[in-house]
């Protein structure tokens, strides 16, 4: 069984991490152009860092939920598996999804990278970050070239990392995907719809788990209109039971 799982903010909603466009989502009250673009960072890096530091803290205090755990279980049992997540949080990893079978296509909020050169560092611990802030008088600077450091995420108007695209493309090119799950994403980005529909191909199953309709819904072979934390444990247990009985 070859499996592809694509996740978005809805998968972490049940852990208390706001989505972007769902109910009470960030983009319902905040303007992405002021917080998540290279222009916003150039204009007001303090404001951008403040928002990302707040988000980092919220994620550190959150726990993976049953949807993250069910996906990790599927990863362990599927013959071949890839998780493509748009989430910059670390909840899939903390639920034990194998890192080598996961691509964070929009980056990692706990990475701080230089806005000019290729220097980057991981900042999972709050203490380390606070220490850096004190030393850098609030705005972190690159120890190598002196430019401002920025969060290691993809902003609007930026390219995806081509090495990460290659991982997804290679997985699709290696053979048919039997089962594709698209979970908790509004699927607004063309590449998400493209990967999901190509993975489905002629014969594969494409299961959308989302309380709301999305542009992907019409391509799905099964629609599950429930929150991921409720639906996924049940669906994945059913699949694993079926696979065990048929092998
Ligand atoms: P969105 O906030 O656009 O979509 C979240 C989806 O999850 C919606 O379709 C909700 O209906 C659904 N959902 C499922 N369960 C939910 C629950 N319990 N509570 C609330 N909503 C639930 O998030 P993404 O599709 O991940 O990118 O957004 C994609 C990208 O747009 C993000 O990675 C981010 C954002 O701007 C960048 O910042 C580049």
**pLDDT tens, position by position, 83-122:** 999 999 999 999 999 999 999 999 999 999 999 999 999 9
User: Which tokens go with 154?
Assistant: 């993809």
Tell me what pLDDT residue 132 has: 62
Mean pLDDT to the nearest integer, 189-210: 96
Catalytic residue among 77, 79, 92, 106: 106
Tell me what pLDDT residue 244 has: 76
Determine whether the shortest distance from the Cβ of 212 to ligand 1 is under 6 A: yes
Is 245 catalytic? The answer is no
Mean pLDDT to the nearest integer, 203-212: 96
Tell me what pLDDT residue 242 has: 84
Residue from 7, 17, 21 to probe ligand 1 pocket by mutation (most atoms less than 8 Å from CB): 21
Determine whether the shortest distance from the Cβ of 20 to ligand 1 is under 6 A: yes
Who contacts 69 (Cβ-Cβ below 8 Å, separation ≥6)? Answer: 95, 96, 233
Nearest residue CA, atom 31 of ligand 1? Answer: 20
Q: Is the dihedral of CA 155, 156, 158, 159 positive or negative?
A: positive
Nearest residue CA, atom 9 of ligand 1? Answer: 186
> Are the C-beta atoms of residues 47 and 209 closer than 8 Å to each other?
no
Determine whether the shortest distance from the Cβ of 64 to ligand 1 is under 6 A: no
Q: Which long-range contacts (CB under 8 A, 24 or more apart) does 115-123 make?
A: 115/41, 115/142, 115/147, 115/148, 115/149, 115/150, 116/142, 116/145, 116/147, 117/142, 117/144, 117/145, 117/147, 119/143, 119/144, 119/145, 120/152, 123/56
Place of tokens 């191909």: 201
Residue 130 has pLDDT above 90, yes or no: no
Cα R_g (the chain), whole angstroms = 19
- Backbone phi and psi for residue 179, each to the nearest 5 degrees, phi listed first: -140, 120
Nearest residue CA, atom 30 of ligand 1? Answer: 86
Determine whether the shortest distance from the Cβ of 13 to ligand 1 is under 6 A: yes
E strands, 8-161, in order: 80-85, 102-104, 107-114, 120-122, 149-153
Tell me what pLDDT residue 133 has: 63
């Amino acid at each position: 069984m070859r499996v592809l799982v694509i996740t978005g903010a809805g998968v972490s909603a049940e852990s208390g991490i706001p989505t972007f466009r769902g109910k009470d989502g960030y983009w319902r009250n905040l303007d992405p152009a002021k917080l998540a673009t290279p222009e916003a960072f150039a204009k007001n890096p303090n404001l951008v860092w403040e928002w990302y530091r707040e988000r980092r803290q919220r994620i550190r205090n959150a726990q993976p939920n049953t949807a993250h755990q069910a996906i990790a279980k599927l990863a362990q049992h599927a013959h071949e598996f890839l998780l493509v997540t748009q989430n910059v949080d670390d909840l899939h990893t903390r639920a034990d999804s194998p890192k080598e079978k996961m691509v964070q296509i929009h980056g990692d909020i706990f990475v701080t990278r230089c806005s000019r050169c290729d220097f980057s560092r991981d900042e999972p611990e709050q203490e380390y970050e606070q220490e850096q802030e004190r030393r850098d008088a609030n705005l972190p600077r690159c120890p190598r070239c002196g430019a401002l450091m920025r969060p290691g995420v993809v902003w609007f108007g930026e390219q995806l990392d081509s090495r990460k695209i290659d991982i997804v493309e290679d997985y699709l090119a290696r053979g048919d995907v039997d089962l594709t799950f698209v979970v908790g994403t509004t699927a607004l980005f063309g590449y998400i719809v493209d990967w999901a529909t190509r993975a489905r191909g002629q014969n594969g199953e494409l299961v959308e788990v989302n309380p709301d309709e999305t542009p992907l819904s019409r391509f799905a072979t099964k629609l599950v209109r429930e929150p991921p934390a409720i639906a996924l444990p049940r669906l994945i247990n059913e699949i694993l039971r079926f696979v065990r009985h048929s092998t």
